[in-house]
């Protein structure tokens, strides 16, 4: 029998209407300073309530949801705003589902926080929302440390650019003869400049043997205008680079300690 014939003999069946799967579902719309929560009809005098975002209010929210018989909660994954809400509700024993905002189509009417939480609650009741992946608490903590370290790297990089700008303003072409101005040769020269050394030939003697350019090349690049305002900017930029470098070292130690605690446990206990 051909594929076309098979398609012709397929029976048409009527689809059942949507069934409510999560009968004790709540929906949350989370903002910076206010949270709107919707629970099933008939569980409270009002099915939608608003709460502030202070810690005491988050516990009030959890207590109200428990009083309404809620066991599962859906909320948009709204970055840092949702983290405290998630943690408080999860600690209270609720099943918390983080939902990608792009997967929630808003109601075809004027947008409001009340409508949003009602829509989320309704979709979650019918099981139409798919929770985003949420790592274990320990992996989430490690991820937070790694993201924090990435932020420190970006801040440090910005101040390295400030150092480069100050050097260029003095027409010191150190970046042309040194691959990395925060390397051994680059830092030694910059610190000597900030200590008052202005002789290009003396500064060139800080060149390390592995440096590609000669002392003559470096001395030529360091013949510029050592103006006080640019030296001041260079000094402050260097101090900030060194500060963030130290912060990164401390962050690396914290990450290493966290990761070592994972490896120290039996494999079965980590599951």
Query: What are the domain boundaries of the chain?
Result: 25-134, 138-270
Span 159-188, mean pLDDT?
96
Give the distance, in angstroms, between the CA of residue 224 and the centroid of all CA atoms in the same chain.
Answer: 42
User: Which whole number is the average pLDDT over 196-203?
Assistant: 95
Could you tell me which CATH class the domain 25-134 is placed in?
Answer: alpha beta
Tell which residue, 133, 111, 134, 115, has the closest CA to residue 123: 115
pLDDT, one tens digit per residue, over 225-261 is 999 999 999 999 999 999 999 999 999 999 999 888 8
Geometric angle at alpha carbon 67, from 61 and 72, rounded to 5°: 70
pLDDT band at 109 (very low <50, low <70, confident <90, very high): low
pLDDT the model gives residue 201 = 96
**What's the rounded mean pLDDT across residues 152-165?**
97
The answer to whether the CB of 234 falls within 8 A of the CB of 191 is no
pLDDT score recorded for residue 271: 45
* Cα–Cα distance, 66 to 46 (Å, whole number): 15
pLDDT at 159 over 70: yes
Give every CB contact of residue 212 below 8 A, 6+ residues apart in sequence. Answer: 179
The model carries a pTM of 0.70
> What are the tokens at 25?
């579902």
Give me the pLDDT at residue 131, please.
Answer: 82
Residue 5: pLDDT over 70:
no
Q: Which pLDDT score, from 0 to 100, does residue 6 have?
A: 54
Burial 217-227 (b: 16+ CB within 10 A, else e): bbbbbbebeee
Q: What is the mean pLDDT of the chain?
A: 88
pLDDT digits (tens, 9 = 90+) for 25-68: 999 999 889 999 999 999 999 999 999 999 999 999 999 999 99
Are the beta carbons of 65 and 90 closer than 8 angstroms? no
198 — pLDDT class (breaks 50, 70, 90)? very high
Confidence of residue 106 (pLDDT cuts 50, 70, 90): low
- Percent of the chain past pLDDT 90, that is, above it, reads 69
> What whole-number percentage of the chain has pLDDT above 70?
87
The mean pLDDT value for 100-128 works out to 78
Interatomic CA distance for residues 164 and 173, integer angstroms: 9
């Amino acid at each position: 029998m051909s594929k076309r014939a098979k398609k012709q003999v397929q029976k048409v069946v009527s689809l059942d209407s949507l069934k409510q799967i999560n009968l004790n579902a709540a929906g949350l719309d989370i903002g910076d300073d206010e949270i709107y929560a919707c629970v099933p009809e008939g569980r409270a005098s009002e099915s939608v309530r608003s709460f502030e975002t202070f810690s005491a209010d988050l516990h009030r929210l959890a207590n109200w949801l428990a009083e309404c018989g809620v066991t599962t909660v859906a909320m948009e994954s709204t970055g840092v705003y949702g983290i405290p809400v998630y943690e408080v509700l999860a600690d209270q024993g609720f099943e918390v589902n983080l939902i990608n905002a792009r997967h929630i189509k808003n109601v075809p009417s004027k947008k409001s926080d009340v409508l949003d939480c009602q829509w989320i609650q309704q979709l979650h009741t019918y099981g139409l929302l798919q929770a985003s992946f949420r790592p274990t608490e320990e992996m989430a903590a490690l991820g937070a440390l790694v993201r924090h370290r990435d932020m420190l790297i970006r801040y440090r990089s910005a101040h390295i650019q400030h150092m480069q700008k100050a050097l260029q303003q003095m027409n010191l072409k150190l970046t042309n003869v040194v691959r990395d101005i925060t390397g051994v040769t680059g830092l030694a020269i910059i610190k000597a400049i900030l200590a008052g050394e202005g002789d290009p030939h003396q500064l060139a003697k800080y060149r390390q043997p592995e440096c590609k350019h000669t002392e003559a090349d470096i001395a030529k690049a360091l013949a510029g205008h050592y103006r006080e305002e640019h030296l001041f900017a260079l000094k402050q930029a260097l101090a900030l680079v060194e500060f963030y470098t130290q912060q990164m070292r401390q962050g690396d130690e914290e990450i290493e300690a966290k990761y070592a605690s994972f490896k120290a446990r039996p494999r079965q206990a980590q599951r």
